[in-house]
Amino acid sequence: MNEEGHRVAVVTGGASGIGLAMARQFVSEGMKVVIGDVESGALDIAVRQFQDAGVIGVRADVTRHDDVVALCEEAVRAFGRVDVVCANAGVETGGRFLDVATEAWRWVMEVNYFGVLTTARVAVPLLERFGGGDLVITGSLAGFASGTPFMTPYCASKMAVLGLAECLEIELRSCGSAVHVHLLAPGPVRSRMIDAERNAPAGVPIDEDAERRAFMEDFRARQSAEGLPAEDVALLVSRAIRDREFFVLPHHDRAVAALRRRLDWVENGVVPGSRVAGS
Ligand SMILES: NC(=O)c1ccc[n+]([C@@H]2O[C@H](COP(=O)([O-])OP(=O)(O)OC[C@H]3O[C@@H](n4cnc5c(N)ncnc54)[C@H](O)[C@@H]3O)[C@@H](O)[C@H]2O)c1
């Protein structure tokens, strides 16, 4: 706790969706919060929602190491310490494997994987400096359930995040660290994720092909029909921090089913649909 008795959280990608809901949850628990986001307009609107809670917004692009450092330093400058860091910023793009431009692949990996990696590398020593704390990494059910067609960059990035989070947590435990990792891996959640390409840097070509558009629109419809409220997800994150649980699985049954399916694939040596008839 800082001198005023507050715990302090930093949330990347905190201007919208799950990140914003986590910020709101932390504020409701009396924590001080610093939100980082690449989208300045959304960041200003988000911070205005918390007028009396002293939430600070910092324009920070997680693909830039210096931005992540400056974001965390702002929390220390303003509130004296950091207890929780949420490596949450993420983007998605979809399309047929060969139609997704290399630049779009790189963008998704830069934000979803290297952005998490950078945030974790800044967060672990920072949290240790203040006696330990919690690193919440936002992965996805897509990290468990591969085999989602037209989503290869996103699925690959979230599988990489799963590997990073698991290995890091095991390493921290084996070293006796007071930093704990939590992997949030939701299925559909209502947010602006389907419009993630709004944040694609100039030079990332977005395929406007009709088939791809139809896929994205179908994805949007499913997400708004099936999606959980981001607030429900944020509450589970808060409980996982309290209870020191590694996995935060808002769609627990789907995650377990996905892992069973994977085990089946491993045991049978095939991905369903990949075997040529008669072979
Ligand atoms: N919504 C879902 O169904 C769902 C499911 C599983 C996982 N997730 C994950 O949840 C996380 C949050 O996404 P969301 O659903 O709230 O979407 P969202 O688009 O509402 O929020 C994502 C936020 O990240 C910000 N952002 C994008 N690029 C950034 C960058 N380079 N640096 C800093 N901020 C950046 C965006 O401006 C936005 O405010 C992502 O990691 C996403 O992959 C979402």
Within a domain: residue 218? yes
Question: What confidence score (pLDDT) does residue 273 get?
Answer: 57
Q: For residue 197, what is the domain's CATH number?
A: 3.40.50.720
List the strands of the sheet with 179-184, edge to edge: 56-59, 32-37, 8-12, 84-87, 133-138, 179-184, 247-248
From 35, 38, 40, give the residue whose CB has the most ligand 1 atoms within 8 Å, as the site to mutate. Answer: 38
Question: What confidence score (pLDDT) does residue 210 get?
Answer: 82
Query: Measured between alpha carbons, how far is 164 from 137 in angstroms, rounded to an integer?
Result: 9
Q: Separation of 246 CA from ligand 1 center, angstroms? A: 20
Q: Which domain, by its residues, includes 159? A: 8-268
Within a domain: residue 129? yes
Within a domain: residue 194? yes
Question: What confidence score (pLDDT) does residue 192 get?
Answer: 92
Q: Which residues are catalytic?
A: 154
Within a domain: residue 1? no
Residues 6+ apart with CB under 8 A from 110: 63
Question: What confidence score (pLDDT) does residue 95 get?
Answer: 87
45-78 core/surface letters (b: 16 or more CB in 10 A; e: else):
ebbeebeebebbbbebbbbeeebbebbbebbbee
| Structural domains of the chain, count | 1
Beta bridge partners, 33, equal 9
Question: What confidence score (pLDDT) does residue 279 get?
Answer: 32
Single-letter amino acid, residue 223: Q
Question: What confidence score (pLDDT) does residue 277 get?
Answer: 37
From 43, 44, 190, 193, give the residue whose CB has the most ligand 1 atoms within 8 Å, as the site to mutate. Answer: 193
Nearest-atom index, ligand 1, CA of 192: 20
72 pLDDT more than 50: yes
pLDDT digits (tens, 9 = 90+) for 248-265: 999 999 999 988 888 888
For 58-72, the DSSP string reads: EE--TT-HHHHHHHH
Give the H/E segment covering residue 136: strand 133-138
Within a domain: residue 258? yes
- CA nearest 47: which of 57, 37, 39? 57
Within a domain: residue 117? yes
Write out the two tokens for 221.
């419809």
Within a domain: residue 3? no
Question: What confidence score (pLDDT) does residue 58 get?
Answer: 98
Write out the two tokens for 226.
């099936």
pLDDT digits (tens, 9 = 90+) for 23-66: 999 999 999 999 999 999 999 999 999 988 989 999 999 999 99
As for ligand 1, residues whose beta carbon falls within 6 Å of it are 12-13, 15-19, 37-39, 42, 61-63, 88-91, 111, 115, 138, 140, 186, 188-189, 191-193, 196, 199, 223, 227
pLDDT digits (tens, 9 = 90+) for 138-197: 999 999 876 678 889 999 999 999 999 999 999 999 999 999 999 999 999 999 998 998
Within a domain: residue 279? no
